[in-house]
Amino acid sequence: MTNHWNDLQNSDCILIMGSNPAENHPISFKWVTKAQRAGAKVIHVDPRFTRTSARSDMYAALRSGTDIAVLGGMINYILQNKKYFTEYMVEYTNASFIVGEDFDFKDGLFTGFDPATRSYDKSKWSFELDSKGNPKQDKSLAHPRSVFQIMKKHYGRYTLDKVSSMSGVSVQDLKELYELYAATGTAKKAGTIMYAMGWTQHSVGVQNIRAMAIIQLMLGNMGVAGGGVNALRGECNVQGSTDYALLYHILPGYLKTPLAGQDTLEQYNKAFTPVSNDPKSANWWSNYPKYSASLIKAMYENDDPKDAYNYLPRLDSHKASQYSWLPLIDRMADGKFSGALIWGMNPACSGSDSEKTRKALGKLDWMVNVNLFTCETSDFWKGPNMDPKSVKTETFFLPCASAIEKEGSVSNSGRWMQWRYKAQEPQDGVLTDGHYFHELWEELVHLYEEEGGVYPEPITHLTFNRMCEADENGKYHFSAQQTARLCNGWFTRDVEVKGKKFKKGQQVPSFAYLQDDGSTTSGNWLYCNSYTDEGNKAERHDSTQTEEQARIGLYPNWTWCWPVNRRIIYNRASCDPKGNPWNPEKAVIKWNGEKWIGDVPDGGWAPGTKHPFIMLKHGMGQLFGPGRVDGPLPEYYEPLECPVETHAFSKQLHNPTAVHFEDEEKAVADERFPFVASTYRVTEHWQTGSMTRWMSWLVETEPQMFVEISPQLAKLRGFENGEKVVVESVRGSLWAIAMVTDRIQPYKIAGKEVHMVGMPWHYGWVTPKDGGDSANLVTPNVGDPNTGIPEYKAFMVNVRKWKEGDA
Amino acid sequence: MQRRTFLKTTAAAVTATAFTGLGPAFALDNVVKEAGECKIQWSKQTTSICAFCSVGCGLVVHANKSTGRVVNVEGNSDHPINRGSLCAKGASSIQMTVNADRPTKCMYRAPYSDSFEVKDWEWCKKRIAKLIKKSRDESFEKKNADGNVVNRTMGIASLGSAALDNEECYAMHSFMRSLGLVYVEHQARI
Ligand code: SF4
């Protein structure tokens, strides 16, 4: 989230698309309905009528996977009807930038596409530069190659009729939706978006969000109270675990994993440090070398970062098709891993195509699974279609402490880093995850010292004990407090920075003081300022706020928020170039003639001296985004499994760069699998249910796998409500109880009736008895080319009656 | 379509799953007994954050002062986000920790065996470390196909976890990268 949960109350129009917060983020809805009581319009656009729709002022049903049609249509409506916020768009976005002559778009493809590698040469989408190396601009927006004019041409194709024919939303509903939301394109109105996996889990996931970001920038909704682009994260610390880079492509704080050929720290830094010649561009990533050196120093405190850089493994590329989840499981299925450490996860149910995943686990020599309860992953070797006697995988299950049996912090969707305390000791024999990591590391150091082995230095030099506290016998134990101190960072020697003197061992006050020479540590620069000499700010429970802060509910003294306790990111864009808030009633920051007051500003520079989007090289919001692998503008493509052979926007049926495996069959307009399917969550269960299926109160409320089916489809197939049916796809099948409901209605797509079914993905064979199995038995191994996220939200199935002998 | 028209033209929803009834594991006399232990004078309160979704609702956890065991978990009414309220999952938080089905011992399943056996952590630790070392040493690549230095372990995958605290995520990142792992993924990807 660029904003935070309490901030929803400040909105004038809340678009909920790609999420169902009333059921999946229930307490957030407190703030949605608060805004609504104050006059805000709430709009829900979703394939399925849910409790969120029931509370909304407007509901529109779209076919799953057609969001870019609907959003592209909205961009077109805003442009045609001049609903954009002109001053904001001209001053703060790249609408006026001139795109180079190489750029073009034809038949659903941008220039630079190479069919052999299914990838683009992104240099074809570059901006035209002036003599100083800055993008040329035309603030009149008239230049035919200006971003503004290119967008007009591109989205002019997204007519109401075409959008309606692909999405199934009526022309009348589209008009109402566009009018309601575009009304926020003025200085005094803010519109916000609440999205979740309903947008990300598509082969065009990133472009779904890009499309909305474009709308928010055109309407001047970024940086303001009640605005922003707000991802509703699914897990209590999935924000933090991403910030801390448990992902192939990043290191903590969104630094990049090193690539082959970057032989020195200097080469690595150079590759990832952007350069801008525009004095008005803060270009914050120019600080990259300070953050990388401080991270390496946090890991290897006794080494020079230049040397310790060599301890970091290097990848061949950052391609999602090479290292992300889908290719990882594919590689496991090919027997290319001998071991796997599976921590607080249940991939046997959570990954797409569960059958493939479960079989892949059987190709390992060994596997460690750490969880609160046993699950389909720890027990995979005795699951359906498995004969334990033929499964080699040596398997360990390690029980871990629960969230209230240890201390530590979690970061919510609004980036609030919140401390949790230990309420009770874990049972004997149960350790925290942190203790498991540390003790395994100690044992490995011991083994390498005793037996030698391949390149042991990265392990033996790791200063893991700096994350620990020593007991009276001098034995080190993992300590969350010590680790939080290290993640913030400390000075490793006496130094003077920006005229301030610091002693060795002192905490670094904020990332502005981090250094590139090894004199500072910081396990994650984004968290620098969370644990200073004042103490651990994630522990703060102080509700006091100034009058301005209270007006929009900023709560700056309640816990802590990254970066540097800034509650609303890009807040410089909430003011005009003179520092006056666009909406003084709900000011986020304001220039008082000497300094900014309100929220922590995006840099203290005087108004008008720096562009507002400080993390971007040119400082301007990117309507035209030449950095994504599948195009600089969102374009409509069908999901990789879809009910149609052609679509209204181009000849290019699918995202040409999507991650998929050539040898795996896909159902495209395939009469064997005629129904669109989507997966989702219910309030009473969580993710694969690996915890909630063991909680009797929750199981009693949602005991069993079901599939939501429209009355029309039930009639077509002769199903009764409550009957056991089979859902099957190219990949597999599972049984589910038919829930016949008006909440799902057939769509009219290109003149034809198309049915959809929806399923929760919380179940698994381990428990409860007769609960059913994972919906991921039928989901596809295809995904977004930028992120690699699987397309769980739109794929094709058949539903039929259950008979004896079916799974 | 307006909500009202939708409601008018469609029949009532089929499954009203009200949050009713308490499971068998929660007999009434237990409720009375535990309610007594929740009295503030008998319990120690600590605050926490709900371990399910990312709204980050505040919790107050009560532990019996004499046994040290958790007896109640409820919403923190001071917390600016939830103001004391919790959804069905958050309100059931205590069952995540206080639950007879939680294993309290490490378990080991030998290759081709049809059952788990209980092992202590010391034994598991030694065995797992040996396996990690073997896999690492056998699959370590100093250079890639192009002859560039890569210093990486190709034979081990790490999956997880958004269920860890930030500090544990940092520890996990450091540990996995020190082992040379490049196949490091978790829930955020999927
Ligand atoms: S109580 Fe419900 S809404 Fe609040 S954090 Fe927990 S799961 Fe999310």
The ipTM (two decimal places) reads 0.98
**A753 in a domain, yes or no?**
yes
Last residue of a domain, one of A522, A546, A565: A565
Give residue A498's identity as a one-letter amino acid code: K
Helix or strand (DSSP H, E) at A354: helix A354-361
Task: Identify the pLDDT of residue A247.
Answer: 98
Determine the distance in angstroms separating the CA of B40 from the nearest CA of chain A, rounded to an integer. Answer: 14
- Give pTM, 2 decimals: 0.95
Give residue B19's identity as a one-letter amino acid code: F
Are the Cβ atoms of A684 and B3 closer than 8 angstroms? no
Task: Identify the pLDDT of residue B4.
Answer: 41
Task: Identify the pLDDT of residue B39.
Answer: 66
Distance B48 CA to ligand 1 centre (A): 12
**A460 in a domain, yes or no?**
yes
Determine the distance in angstroms separating the CA of A129 from the nearest CA of chain B, rounded to an integer. Answer: 34
Is residue A681 located within the same domain as residue A538?
no
Separation CA B181–CA A79 (nearest Å): 48
**A356 in a domain, yes or no?**
no
Last residue of a domain, one of A538, A565, A592: A565
Q: Which of B59, B67, B102, B190 to mutate to test the interface with A (most CBs of A within 10 A)?
A: B190
Q: How confident is the model at residue B28 (pLDDT cuts 50, 70, 90)?
A: low
Q: How confident is the model at residue B3 (pLDDT cuts 50, 70, 90)?
A: very low
Q: Which atom of ligand 1 is nearest to the CA of B51?
A: 6
Is A414 within 8 Å of chain B by CB?
Answer: yes
Shortest CB distance from B183 goes to which of A323, A350, A702? A323
Distance B2 CA to ligand 1 centre (A): 29
CA atoms within 13 A on the CB side of B151: 23
Task: Identify the pLDDT of residue B19.
Answer: 39
Average confidence score pLDDT of chain B? 87
Helix or strand (DSSP H, E) at A737: strand A733-740
Cα A130 from chain centre: 35
Task: Identify the pLDDT of residue A806.
Answer: 87
**A61 in a domain, yes or no?**
no
Separation CA A370–CA A190 (nearest Å): 44
Separation CA A335–CA B6 (nearest Å): 52
Give the three-class secondary structure for A314.
coil
Separation CA B79–CA B62 (nearest Å): 16
Determine the distance in angstroms separating the CA of B187 from the nearest CA of chain A, rounded to an integer. Answer: 7
Provide, rounded to the nearest whole percent, the portion of chain A with pLDDT above 90. 100
Is residue A558 located within the same domain as residue A696?
no
Average confidence score pLDDT of chain A? 98
Range with lowest mean pLDDT among A67-81, A538-552, B31-45: B31-45
**A701 in a domain, yes or no?**
yes
Q: How confident is the model at residue B27 (pLDDT cuts 50, 70, 90)?
A: low
Write out pLDDT tens, residues A747-781: 999 999 999 999 999 999 999 999 999 999 999 99
Is residue A415 located within the same domain as residue A561?
yes
Q: Report which of A638, A630, A635, A636 is spatially closest to residue A794, judged by C-alpha positions.
A: A638
Separation CA A727–CA A733 (nearest Å): 5
Q: Output the residue whose Cα is nearest ligand 1's atom 1.
A: B90
Are the Cβ atoms of B51 and A697 closer than 8 angstroms? no
Q: How confident is the model at residue B25 (pLDDT cuts 50, 70, 90)?
A: very low
**A222 in a domain, yes or no?**
no
Distance B53 CA to ligand 1 centre (A): 5
Q: Report which of A664, A638, A642, A632 is spatially closest to residue A652, judged by C-alpha positions.
A: A638
For residue A733, the domain's CATH number is 2.40.40.20
Q: How confident is the model at residue A805 (pLDDT cuts 50, 70, 90)?
A: confident
Give residue B89's identity as a one-letter amino acid code: K
Is residue A557 located within the same domain as residue A685?
no
Write out pLDDT tens, residues A2-19: 999 999 999 999 999 999
Separation CA A659–CA A449 (nearest Å): 42
Last residue of a domain, one of A506, A532, A565: A565
Separation CA A428–CA A732 (nearest Å): 41
Write out pLDDT tens, residues B121-155: 999 999 999 999 999 999 999 999 999 999 999 99
**A534 in a domain, yes or no?**
yes
Ligand 1 cavity residues, CB under 6 Å: A 25-27; B 50, 52-53, 55-57, 82, 86-87, 89-90
**A697 in a domain, yes or no?**
yes
> What is the tally of structural domains in chain A?
2
Write out pLDDT tens, residues A226-270: 999 999 999 999 999 999 999 999 999 999 999 999 999 999 999
Does the pLDDT value for residue B84 go beyond 80?
Answer: yes
Strands B156-159, A339-343: pairing is: parallel
Does the pLDDT value for residue B162 go beyond 70?
Answer: yes
Rounded to a whole number of angstroms, the distance between the first and last alpha carbons of chain B is: 33
Does the pLDDT value for residue B12 go beyond 60?
Answer: no
Does the pLDDT value for residue A513 go beyond 80?
Answer: yes
Domain range for residue A425? Answer: 410-565
